[in-house]
Copies of this chain bind each other. A is one copy, B any other.
Amino acid sequence: MSATTIRDVARYAGVGVGTVSRVLNDSPDVSVTTRSKVLSAIEALDYTPNPIARRLSLGKTLTIAVIAPFFTRPSVVERLRGIEHVIAESEYDLIVFNVETSSRRDAYFHSVLRRERVDGVIIISLLPRDNDVDRLKQAGTSVVFVDVSHPQFSQVIVDDVEGGRQATRHLISLGHRKIGFLSDYEDSSFYFTANRDRFTGYCQELEAANIALRPEFSAHGVHSRSSAYEMAKRLLGVDDRPTAIFATSDTLAIGVLEAAQQVGLDVPKDLSVIGYDDIEIAEYLRLTTIRQSLFESGVEGVKLLLEEMESMPGAPAQILLPTELVRRDTTAPPSARSAPRIFWKSR
């Protein structure tokens, strides 16, 4: 009930508060006997140090924040899982900020990134604006980005250019030459670098295979299944439509699958689809995709952050995680004859 304090323990054990504090922070210089006396007092009183007071005295918040678009991206949740996994073992609390709009993002960037607020923050899939950059640099709180590439900050990323190439190369090796590209990188207020890089990879492979880039084969919109659904229907509606589509996330890919079904196209016979991330549901859907280590990206992110919180380093670090093609059942060679006509069925 009434909070028992360090003073109560001291009195009960017949020692000074300093001593109690010492055993709490297991300082080496305290005799075995008094230590055990204090320990049993703590036990008897069921005492737990007040973390708030501890933090104030320490001048540290002992908390780490993560800012991310959690709920629009299943992949982010998996990264969060990795983060939580590591933080649970530490003395830090994990506080979460969900971003669904760019105004919310700006607000969080402004308010969260203050030394008084948290000791460190992990930002997932959100690129800072130029005027955020300065504030971040001099904020005094350590920051590491996950799934974002920025020259000035520490980050854990995958080589998204390479990922984009892997996906595109897979499609090309299957025999496709009309390859659509679907992403959400148009939303420049968020501006995920990942999408831009994957697009670059896409272009590179196309060029390497001597395939002309066809602008009408790529579409960019917001990140949601339904948005992808609409975009895909548009892509599939053009004359001489793509025989394969590379979507920059599994969520988008699912929207493509829906559109294909809607439009009466068999996957993979009439249309190949490849996603990105390998979120859990991808396996169930037998979706071919580019896997990246989501959980691990969270783990590595926190580890890096904790390190940098210890010793503010000069240069930003970069951890590059691997990316891997996972072949499943949504990609196949294009059908021998030219693309079948589309029959618009009502749902």
Interface residues of A (CB under 8 A from B): 1, 3, 48-53, 55-56, 61, 63, 70-71, 77-78, 80-81, 84-85, 88, 93-98, 104, 111, 114-117, 138, 140, 225, 254, 258, 280-281, 284
Contacts of A49 in B (CB 8 A): 116
**In whole Å, how far is A337's beta carbon from the nearest beta carbon of chain B?**
29
Distance A52 CA – B71 CA, assembled complex (angstroms):
29
Q: B96 to A50, Cβ gap below 8 A? A: no
Tell me, rounded to whole Å, the shortest Cβ–Cβ distance linking A183 to chain B: 20
Q: Given A63-B95, A254-B284, A258-B284, output 5 extra A-B contacts at Cβ < 8 Å.
A: A51-B116, A70-B80, A70-B81, A94-B96, A225-B284
Residue of B nearest to A81 (CB): B71
> Which of the residues B51, B71, B85, B258 comes within 8 Å of A117, measured between beta carbons?
B51
A70, B280: Cα distance in complex, Å: 14
CB < 8 Å neighbour of A52 from B56, B77, B98, B254: B56
Q: Is the Cβ of A140 less than 8 Å from the Cβ of B77?
A: no
Task: Tell me whether A48 and B96 are in contact in the complex, defined as CB-CB below 8 angstroms, given that A70-B81, A81-B70, A281-B281 are known contacts.
Answer: no
Asked, given contacts A1-B140, A254-B284, A284-B258, whether A52 binds B95 with beta carbons under 8 Å apart, the answer is: no
In the assembled complex, the Cα of A17 lies from the Cα of B286 at a distance in Å of 64
What are 13 A-B pairs at a CB distance below 8 A? A3-B115, A3-B116, A48-B114, A50-B116, A51-B116, A52-B56, A56-B56, A88-B97, A88-B98, A95-B95, A96-B96, A225-B284, A254-B284
**Complex alpha-carbon distance, A339 and B340, angstroms:** 41
- Please indicate the chain B residues that have their CB under 8 angstroms from the CB of A52 in the complex: 52, 55-56, 61, 116
* A138–B1 CB distance below 8 A: yes
B-chain residues with CB within 8 Å of residue A258 when the two chains form the complex: 284
CB distance from A3 to the nearest CB of B (A): 6
Instruction: Report how far A280 CA is from B258 CA in the complex, Å.
Output: 14
A1 proximity list for chain B (CB < 8 A): 138, 140
**A243–B94 CA distance with the chains assembled, in angstroms:** 46
7 A-B pairs closest in CB distance: A50-B116, A71-B81, A84-B98, A52-B55, A93-B95, A52-B56, A95-B95
Q: How far is the CA of A56 from the CA of B281 in the complex (A)?
A: 45
Contacts of A138 in B (CB 8 A): 1
Q: How far is the CB of A325 from chain B (nearest CB, A)?
A: 20
Cβ contact within 8 Å between B84 and A96: yes
- Provide the residues of chain B in CB contact with A117, threshold 8 Å: 48, 51
Partner of A77, one of B77, B97, B116, B284: B77
Q: For A55, list chain B residues within 8 Å (CB).
A: 52
**Nearest-CB residue, chain B, relative to A93:** B95
Closest residue of B by beta carbon distance from A258: B284
For A295, give the chain B residue with the smallest CB separation: B71
